[in-house]
A = this chain, B = another copy of it.
């Protein structure tokens, strides 16, 4: 029991539109797929809803939503690098990564900001000069978390938070940098690192 070819086409059109910008109206779907009746489109939507791929709100224009399962922003994980025999024709897809999720997750943007990393003090943690560090404010940072911290001299630095005998200090991930015991304030916690080549 899965999608009929026509249902698949309707779903793909919705995916496309949702991905591009706006979810389509019922008539827009009909136009694209060559249906002359809105009723036809509604029949398809009903089917897709019953199969759990689509959600809608009553009397709201363009309120079609893709469920997790049907969501477009997914990148196939073909294999784990260094092992396995991935098939590039996407026939051996192991699962999906939600692109949005991968990036920011379900966080709002309000308490998230980015810092471009400069320097090599975290190089042993795989954080390189030029990387973008996504930081979440309102820190519930714990021991061993990598945090952005504000130092007394007004510098912001990315370091690992360590506690020793009940007291916190900061550690670089590079033997050339000594630990920091001076006063600091944690301003956020590292949640994601992104590097573009």
Contact = CB atoms under 8 A, between A and B. Distances in A.
B187 A192 contact: no
A75 B109 contact: yes
Contact of A197 (B84, B90, B146): B146
A34 interface: no
Contact of A82 (B61, B158, B193): B158
With most chain B CB atoms within 10 A of its CB, the pick from A83, A84, A113 is A113
Given A88-B187, A194-B193, A196-B192, A81 B146 contact: no
B126 A82 contact: no
B146 A82 contact: no
Contacts of A84: 155-156
Interface string A30-41: 000000000000
Interface in A97-124: 97, 99, 102-105, 109, 112-119, 121, 123
B81 A158 contact: yes
Contacts of A128: 126
A169 interface: no
Interface of A: 19, 21-23, 25, 61-63, 65, 72, 75-86, 88, 90, 97, 99, 102-105, 109, 112-119, 121, 123, 126-128, 131-134, 137, 145-146, 148, 154-158, 187, 189-197
Given A84-B156, A192-B197, 17 more contacts: A21-B65, A75-B109, A75-B112, A76-B114, A80-B118, A81-B117, A81-B119, A81-B158, A82-B119, A82-B121, A83-B118, A85-B156, A88-B187, A126-B128, A190-B197, A192-B195, A194-B195
